[in-house]
């Protein structure tokens, strides 16, 4: 049996050699990608989380970093964006001329905030607008349909989710009617969020009537051409003829038919209906991203916008991996640190990271009344426990936390001193603040902010305040899970 023994020895030696090569191969990859994480200068929490993943998960950690570690948007998108830069530079020049310069009369931090956003995105704060908040899904859908039915030139839609069923189908019918009148209709939907739509009868209906429907951030099989798989277009907006705009948290869904199997109740949203000169700025943002995704050449900025410093002053604040790093986060920090009396925050997903959490704690300790209104139940296990990992230190600092118990509260807004407000699609988590394509309205107007505040106070009435002492009595098991999720919260 010497031959068999020799074969077994050869197999054992080969297995040992392969094992050794795998160990050293992983070690080499960890060294290379550790260096890359360090040189990329990601937020400290994100960097540490990636280092933990690289060390704990051989090869898998490297694969995850390649897919999700950097904000790379893909070669095709980059080339298209570079080809459009000249038109964007003109928009920035127009923004300087249109910017309102007297915003400190509304709030002491208003002008600094507006100037920061202008320097970041090139988009100005412009007055002369009116805003109506729609807080019921049925009202929102019917208002959208009515405006589409009044369109004479174009309808531009951009949504993260369009889910077929119920009243959401009425929007598709309205677009078909508009198309038959000669109105140009364009629809841009996130490739992942709206994947059900692209397989539905609604998609076939729109294409049958030659209404272009494009996938934003499409998923492909070649990562270096696709970019990161999880960079999503999270915006919810619509523009009609450059005269009426919609922005908010509302996806094109009927809450009665959407995710009813997840035990969180119906989704609760608010949409802003806007009229005034800022609508053309919002439409310019839409056109910019349409051109990039569709390879088109729509003009970005109509020459009809005039300077206006009357109420309500609005500044469109698009954010995402193609805008200056952490731009909307910095704007929120600027507003929070300028608060004197009250901060109200409504968000479904609250994983703020250390910098934003610290800003809220500091505000509470200097006497600002800080309130968080969050849903009691959310549709993500990871977010649920990562969010709760921040509660104890916030409660100890004097931040009030209310848990909404009438459904999944999906509205996203921040109100500062009843005079300044952020409203749109941005959640208080690092994914939304740093990775996703989002759209926020910054409203410099006390009357509009007060209307939004009434909606928020209604949420508080339907919420259960979290008691600090009772929270400290939660089980050791829950604390452990929260702290584990906290380690990875910069990546959630």
Q: What is the CA radius of gyration of the chain?
A: 24
CA–CA gap between residue 317 and residue 348 (Å, rounded): 20
Nearest to 239 by CA among 144, 162, 171, 306: 144
Helix and strand counts by DSSP (H, E) for the chain: 20, 20
The tokens describing 187, both together, are: 């629809």
Its sign, for the CA torsion 384, 390, 394, 396, is positive
The span from the first CA to the last CA of the chain, in angstroms, equals 58
Which phi-psi region, left, alpha or beta, contains residue 192 (left: φ > 0; alpha: ψ -120 to 50)? alpha
CA–CA gap between residue 389 and residue 383 (Å, rounded): 10
CA–CA gap between residue 63 and residue 65 (Å, rounded): 5
The tokens describing 86, both together, are: 């000249």
3-state percent helix, strand, coil for the chain, nearest multiple of 5: 50, 20, 30
Nearest to 167 by CA among 252, 244, 246: 252
Nearest to 350 by CA among 181, 221, 492, 238: 492
CA–CA gap between residue 123 and residue 319 (Å, rounded): 12
Task: Tell me whether the omega of the peptide bond preceding residue 389 falls within 30 degrees of 0, making it cis.
Answer: no
Contact 81, 292 (CB under 8 A): yes
Residue identified by tokens 């197999």 is 11
Q: How far is CA 355 from the centre of its chain?
A: 18
Nearest to 437 by CA among 446, 424, 447: 424
Contact 114, 86 (CB under 8 A): no
Nearest to 131 by CA among 384, 479, 467, 447: 447
Residues involved in catalysis = 234, 236, 241, 410, 412, 417
The backbone torsions φ and ψ at residue 131, rounded to the nearest 5 degrees and listed phi first, read -130, 130
Alpha carbon separation from 190 to 27, 210, 244, 337, 475 (Å, rounded): 38, 19, 22, 34, 40
CA–CA gap between residue 179 and residue 200 (Å, rounded): 20
Contact 100, 114 (CB under 8 A): yes
């Amino acid at each position: 049996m010497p031959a068999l023994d020799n074969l077994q020895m050869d197999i054992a030696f080969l297995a040992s050699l392969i094992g050794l090569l795998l160990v050293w191969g992983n070690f080499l990859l960890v060294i290379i990608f550790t260096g890359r994480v360090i040189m990329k200068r990601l937020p400290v929490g994100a960097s540490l989380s990636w280092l933990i993943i690289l060390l704990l998960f051989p090869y898998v950690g490297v694969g995850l970093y390649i897919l999700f570690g950097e904000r790379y948007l893909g070669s095709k998108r980059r080339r298209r964006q570079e080809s459009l830069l000249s038109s964007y530079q003109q928009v920035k020049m127009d923004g300087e001329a249109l910017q309102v310069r007297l915003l400190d009369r509304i709030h002491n931090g208003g002008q600094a905030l507006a100037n920061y956003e202008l320097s970041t995105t090139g988009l100005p704060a412009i007055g002369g607008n009116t805003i109506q908040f729609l807080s019921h899904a049925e009202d929102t859908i019917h208002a959208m349909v009515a405006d589409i039915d009044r369109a004479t030139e174009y309808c531009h839609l951009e949504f993260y989710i369009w889910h077929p069923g119920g009243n959401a189908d009425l929007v598709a019918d309205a677009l078909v009617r508009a198309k038959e009148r000669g109105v140009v209709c364009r629809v841009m939907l996130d490739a992942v969020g709206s994947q059900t739509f692209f397989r539905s009868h609604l998609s076939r209906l729109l294409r049958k009537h030659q209404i272009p429907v494009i996938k934003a951030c499409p998923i492909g099989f070649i990562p270096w051409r696709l970019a990161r798989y999880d960079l999503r277009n999270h915006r919810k907006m619509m523009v009609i003829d450059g005269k009426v705009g919609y922005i908010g948290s509302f996806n094109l869904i009927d809450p009665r038919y959407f995710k009813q199997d997840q035990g969180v109740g119906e989704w609760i949203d608010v949409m802003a209906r806007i009229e005034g000169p800022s609508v053309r700025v919002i439409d310019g943002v839409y056109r910019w991203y349409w051109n990039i995704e569709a390879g088109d050449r729509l003009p970005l900025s109509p020459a009809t916008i005039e300077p206006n410093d009357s109420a309500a002053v609005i500044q469109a604040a698009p954010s995402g991996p193609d805008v200056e790093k952490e731009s909307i986060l910095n704007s929120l920090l600027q507003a929070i640190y300028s608060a004197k009396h009250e901060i109200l925050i409504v968000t479904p997903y609250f994983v703020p990271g250390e910098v934003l959490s610290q800003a809220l704690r500091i505000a509470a300790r200097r006497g600002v009344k800080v309130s968080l209104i969050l849903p009691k139940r959310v549709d993500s296990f990871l977010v649920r426990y990562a969010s709760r990992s921040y509660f104890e230190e916030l409660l100890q600092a004097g931040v009030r936390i209310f848990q909404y118990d009438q459904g999944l509260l999906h509205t996203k807004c921040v109100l500062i001193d009843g005079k300044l407000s952020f409203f749109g699609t941005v959640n208080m988590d690092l994914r939304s603040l740093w990775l996703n394509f989002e759209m926020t309205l910054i409203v410099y107007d006390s009357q509009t902010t007060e209307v939004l505040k009434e909606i928020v106070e209604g949420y508080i009435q339907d919420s259960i305040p979290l008691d600090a002492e009772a929270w400290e009595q939660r089980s050791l098991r829950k604390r452990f899970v929260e702290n584990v999720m906290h380690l990875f919260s910069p990546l959630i």
